[in-house]
Homo-oligomer: A and B are copies of this chain.
């Protein structure tokens, strides 16, 4: 119960942070108000929508939950209204974004494990729930998705899926949820601070 309440709170922080990140991309691409709302909505909610579509949980909770949708739309509209100010401090969004990444990875792993998926699929669902929205955002902006090119991001979420499984069997669901969220957020912030990157192939692009 307590873990669920904390995760719900983290979920709203993640939705708001991801919606701001999507809206900032819309601004950078010269989109109008609808572009801000659509990119904010997609970045915040698309990862969970795709996850639920894959698992047959239809309609997806992100389609039916008014509070989630209002949070995303509001964050996008506020970003639009204060775009010239928010754009200056865009690095600030990296902190709630990291919290959102951790929360979404934990929630994605939780849903996938309880749907009976295998460990590799749980890791993929954690990464998809956490990073899928950002991929949709970049595809809509006609860019190569950032997560495929730079930094420890989806990787942190996928590792969080593996950690979730271990914690779930050893210490129960609540510890697994909180531990995964904290670990993924911490890994993401450390990798940002120290500039950790995944290796690139010799001879690659």
Contact = CB atoms under 8 A, between A and B. Distances in A.
Interface of A: 26-36, 38-39, 41, 49, 53-56, 58-60, 63-64, 66, 69-70, 73, 80, 83-84, 87, 115, 117-118, 120-121, 124, 135, 139-145, 147-150, 154-155, 197-205
Nearest to A115: B59
Given A27-B203, A118-B66, A149 B32 contact: yes
Work out how many copies of this chain go into the complex: 3
A21 B203 CA distance: 16
A64 B117 contact: yes
Chain A interface, >50% SS class: helix
B117 A63 contact: yes
Nearest to A145: B140
Contacts of A55: 58-59
5 contacts: A26-B148, A31-B144, A34-B155, A54-B60, A84-B203
Contacts of A29: 144, 148-149, 205
A135 B41 CA distance: 15
